[in-house]
Structure 1
Amino acid sequence: MGRVSNRRKENAYLGDQQTTLDEEADDSLPSFVSAIQNVTVSVGRDARLSCVVENLGDYRVAWIYKGTGGRTVLTVATQVITKNPRISATQEAQAWVLTVTSLTQRDQGVYMCQVNTKPARKQLGYIRVVVPPTIDDKASSSDVSVSEGGEAVLTCEASGDPQPAIRWVREDGQPLPATANASVSEEHLGRSLVLSSASRNASGAYLCIATNGVPPAVSKRILLSVSFPPEVVQQAGDVVVGVAGGVGGVGELRCRFWAWPRSKVTWLRGPREVNLTRRGMTAATTREEAAWGLWTSELRVKVRDVEDLGHYRCLVTNQHGDAACTFQLVEITTTTTTTTTTTITTTSTSTSTVAPPPHHRINPPPASTSAPAGTQPPFVPWRKIHDKGPTTTITTIGPNSVLEGAEGVAADDDPDLKHRKTPLRYFEPPTSSSSRLSASSLLGTCVAHVILVVLLFARS
């Protein structure tokens, strides 16, 4: 209605073109070059109207305000006639500029640029003053409290020019609850938001936002509190809390519950209230930010003796009712099992037979390392052949004989052999197995006899 009323006043003053031009065709008289541009300005700001006149000569330009109370001369040329200090006039080439600073709604209206010809020539301009929205806190709702299931009414009153529109949203961005006239939605338009049956989920902050196209938009925050009795979060029976090590350990008991308004929380040990002034006992209740009316109460118990173990209860009470969390504080016994691992290492000794040395080297055969203690070493037969012309002598060296001694005996019998190296025939010793010793010795003896017979036949 305010916008339509202002537009009608403007059209009544200005007509269809919002200007009035002198129609005389005398080129020697002053004339207006262009129409005055109407302006729309927010309250508190400055407005300028420009009137361009050519062939002014000795004539003067005056600015006159035409309001509902009549006409008021504001300026003549650059001289200010009115006593309003916010009015001024300046000349910029052929333009005569009227400036009104710090506009108020009373400054809105028709302004006339007039040249003092006979008859007077005049031109009209219009200043529209718009007002950004404001919210009337006294006429609007403050924070609202209602019991669950009751009706909640939130009201917001705003003013401005043009008249502001009001919309409602939730501060946390969640959809609005269903109303009597609308289902769940992101926003609601209108000066009032009515929740016919408010649930606890409707609790929270609501914003009423007023806009009318003139910046800035404004908003008001209204907190809706839906009260309800305490309710424990997901508990069936006692919650068992273990304390490692028992005496000297610390147990932490946590009770989560829904309630609004904030309830009184009492921790009980058996039938008695926990003495929180005692050293090692602390309790704290905090509200969780993730949801409205969700709380956590925590009791820390430092176990000083076995009497601190047992049954605990968290009692939550408000004007709508009460609820309780129950706990069993028990000792956790840690059993340590020692496992001994025995590692058995088996060492195997292998026996190898060393190949016989080359001719003309006298080395004893290697001793067996695997022969059992107290076992007689095997007998190794050695044969020494003495060539004395047509006669051949065979000397058998026993197991305890010394080769050098045997060689010495042969040398004494035959002086020609003292400086002569006597070739020895080496027979490979038997293996370390006792079952094979006698067979190896017999085989060596047989081989030696065979070789001797062959040599005798060869010489003959």
Structure 2
Amino acid sequence: MSTLLVLGALALVARTGCTDNGLNPSGVSDLDYTDVELGLTPRGPRFDVAHSKNVTALVGKTAQLNCRVHDLGNRTVSWIRHRDIHLLTSGRMTYTSDQRFISVHNPHTEDWILKIRFPQRRDSGVYECQVGTTPPIGHRMYLSVVEPVTTILGGPELFINTGSTINLTCVVQHSPEPPPAIRWTHKEEEINYDSPRGGVSVITEKGETTTSHLLVQKARMADSGRYTCAPANANPISVQVHVLSGEHPAAMQHGGQLRIQYPISAAMLSIIVTLMGCYYKQDIRNIL
């Protein structure tokens, strides 16, 4: 009877592949699936840093810091400003008297957005998106609020000889992205590059520093007036152009463009040179 029980037990082992040495019938060790993650994502909230990046914004134009949190569950997302360790928002509630700060969340997404209306340069700094776990976890981002600077080289006044080429160079710096368009105007009217006058063109080079060149060939008196460079994402800047019919006695010429430089100092220098010449002549006479 005992022999039959042993044979039955061995048969059961053979059918189930269970052996006391941890090997299956083929001789390969069985896996303990309770210790294998099988590609499952980790449990608990985690930040998607690829969609939670630093932001550069323009002064006065709404800035948005995005925080994407996977597997948030029923936990709360808060925004904290590191400059003064101030709780700005928690969930969709705002906890600051500065009403420029707003928490935005669409229930169908994993994005929690801190929106800052009318940002100023003082708003630049570190902001933390924090999840209310135990202990809390957070992801920090840097907001840089910049104010683009627009300049026209050689301004605010330019003096041009008749028949020369007017070359106005507008430079846009400190812009988070190149301006999508730069508008040039003359006497408050947008310049038409296809006008019957002809000889008017613009060349724009975009990059970290964007440069736009307005070229007006064979300048004439009618080309005098106020020219304005107006980038789409920066403040406009103007220059007054004077087209001269003849030589300007107190001007310096640079490639057809004339600029008055320190007229009072030049006059004083002329007087001093004249007086020195007079004294020099008097000294010569005394010697003779």
TM-score, structure 2 normalization: 0.43
Q: Which has the higher contact order (CA 8 A, sep 6+)?
A: 2
Considering fraction of residues, name the structure with more helix: 2
Structure showing greater radius of gyration is 1
